[in-house]
Amino acid sequence: MGNLQKDETKSLRKKHIGPSCKLFFKEDPLKIVRGEGAFLYDENDTPYLDCINNVAHVGHCNRDVVEAGYKQMQVLNTNSRFLHDNLVLYAERLATSLPGNLSVAFLVNSGSEANDLALRMAYQHTGNKDVITLDHAYHGHVVSLIDISPYKFNLPGGKGCPEHTWVAPVPDIYRGKHRTGTGLTEHELGSKYASEVDSIIEKMADKGRAPAVFIAESLQSCGGQVIFPDNYLGEVYKSVRAAGGIVIADEVQVGFGRVGKHMWAFQSYDSSLVPDIVTMGKPMGNGHPIAAVFTTPEVAQSFSATGVEYFNTYGGNPVSCAIGNAVLDVIEKEKLMENAVEVGNYLLTEFKQLAGRYKCIGDVRGRGLFVGIDLVKDKATREPDTALAKKILTTLKEKHILIQTDGPSNNVIKLKPPMVFSMENAKHLVHNIVQVFDSVEN
């Protein structure tokens, strides 16, 4: 199936695919026909270094993952109303990677579905309906999640903040409400941001309401690759729980060892941090649609107390679980978490050195293979440089390197490559970015 000319593909897409489904590089979109490792290939077999695909976690078309799905598909694929070893063994394996008593799994098909289910659990467990979310957050594309995603509801065409959604400032210490350069330590800044959530809880109480849940990506992606102060989540979790709510760690984009030193990104702040619910998705199946919600027996029991059965046709099917298990095997076998530490540290070190060399680099931040470069017009004012970010994106594409930009001003270069991204790939990326910066500033 296929073999259309690129213009034919573009024409059919315009005719049959909804116009709100956007393409990368919309002025000159790429036609990608295959992938391998950290590379994508166009119809002319031109390789592009993929620095953005956090879905192909263990590399595009990883042979072990493909083989696992193929073998299981030859034997059986059915829903989870039958007993099957793949589901229970996979759930047990994931549970052992989580802290505390996060031991009960609900397998679903996407990160959006996982976050929607997590909200339902929070509403049922607490009896409350109010949600505290972070500014610029994005948690999924279904209605319940658009309502708690300022990244969507605050955009032109969005409907604004719903009554039961409360938006806390994102704890971005570079360009947020409370920032570096003011004489405060990172810990003090974390406490200031946590106190913003306390204020929201007080405002809720004035209305006779209380939080159902606080939800946050453990590292905020769409908000501009934001790393929180280490004490922030711990202080917020304590306040929300004291007010009768529970907390969700959204690991859909940043989980499965991306931060390198830990399997789950929330663990990188404080080893004692334990959410009430953890949601997983994107990298979980290396491109295969599988996601999950993990929670405690107490929350799971509250959810079942209504007597309404939860059933998911495809969630937890034998093929999905075989693929998910193979992804975990590859992470371990190929030591991809260790690779994330080594390559991620190299990228951060190199980009921070470049920040001292180029006036357009305002901030460099990241953990493991999750890196952001904040571009500015002026280092003193920190005014974002959106135009420069777009130019770098376009120029690197011409050099066959794929990056993305994001953040409220779309001025942050974000890097979330497959975990097989090698030191050679990293050096190639840095070399080419240096060339682009040289052409801009010289």
pLDDT, position 268? 97
- Whether the pLDDT of residue 441 is over 90: the answer is no
pLDDT, position 1? 62
- Shared domain for 226 and 359, answered yes or no, is no
pLDDT, position 145? 93
pLDDT, position 306? 79
Pick 4 or 308 by higher pLDDT.
4
- Whether the pLDDT of residue 125 is over 80: the answer is yes
The residues, ordered by sequence, that sit 6+ positions from 209 with a Cβ below 8 Å of its Cβ are 128, 129, 130
Please write the tens of the pLDDT for every residue from 371-424.
Answer: 999 999 999 999 999 999 999 999 999 999 999 999 999 999 999 999 999 999
- Whether the pLDDT of residue 263 is over 80: the answer is yes
Please write the tens of the pLDDT for every residue from 334-373.
Answer: 999 999 999 999 999 999 999 999 999 999 999 999 999 9
In a domain, 199, yes or no: yes
**Residue 12 banded pLDDT, cuts 50, 70, 90:** very high
In a domain, 351, yes or no: yes
Q: How many domains does one find in the chain?
A: 2
CATH number at residue 19: 3.90.1150.10
- Whether the pLDDT of residue 15 is over 70: the answer is yes
In a domain, 114, yes or no: yes
- Shared domain for 281 and 341, answered yes or no, is no
* Rounded-to-integer distance, Cα 133 and Cα 136, Å: 9
What mean pLDDT value characterizes the chain?
Answer: 95
* Rounded-to-integer distance, Cα 293 and Cα 311, Å: 14
In a domain, 162, yes or no: yes
- Shared domain for 162 and 297, answered yes or no, is yes
Average pLDDT over residues 20-31: 88
- Whether the pLDDT of residue 2 is over 80: the answer is no
- Shared domain for 424 and 329, answered yes or no, is no
Average pLDDT over residues 223-230: 96
Please write the tens of the pLDDT for every residue from 83-122.
Answer: 999 999 999 999 999 999 999 999 999 999 999 999 999 9
In a domain, 178, yes or no: yes
**Residue 158 banded pLDDT, cuts 50, 70, 90:** confident
Q: Among 303, 333, 363, where does a domain finish?
A: 333
- Shared domain for 73 and 156, answered yes or no, is yes
- Shared domain for 45 and 97, answered yes or no, is no
- Shared domain for 232 and 254, answered yes or no, is yes
Domain span at residue 46 reads 6-58+335-441
- Whether the pLDDT of residue 275 is over 80: the answer is yes
- Shared domain for 256 and 357, answered yes or no, is no
- Shared domain for 273 and 395, answered yes or no, is no
CATH number at residue 211: 3.40.640.10
In a domain, 1, yes or no: no
pLDDT, position 311? 87
Q: Tokens 């031991």: give the residue.
A: 103
Q: Among 333, 359, 381, where does a domain finish?
A: 333
- Shared domain for 339 and 299, answered yes or no, is no
- Shared domain for 349 and 321, answered yes or no, is no
**Residue 440 banded pLDDT, cuts 50, 70, 90:** confident
* pTM, full prediction: 0.95
Q: Among 311, 333, 355, where does a domain finish?
A: 333
Please write the tens of the pLDDT for every residue from 310-332.
Answer: 889 999 999 999 999 999 999 99
- Shared domain for 196 and 105, answered yes or no, is yes
- Whether the pLDDT of residue 127 is over 70: the answer is yes
In a domain, 374, yes or no: yes
Please write the tens of the pLDDT for every residue from 165-224.
Answer: 999 999 999 999 999 989 999 999 999 999 999 999 999 999 999 999 999 999 999 899
In a domain, 122, yes or no: yes
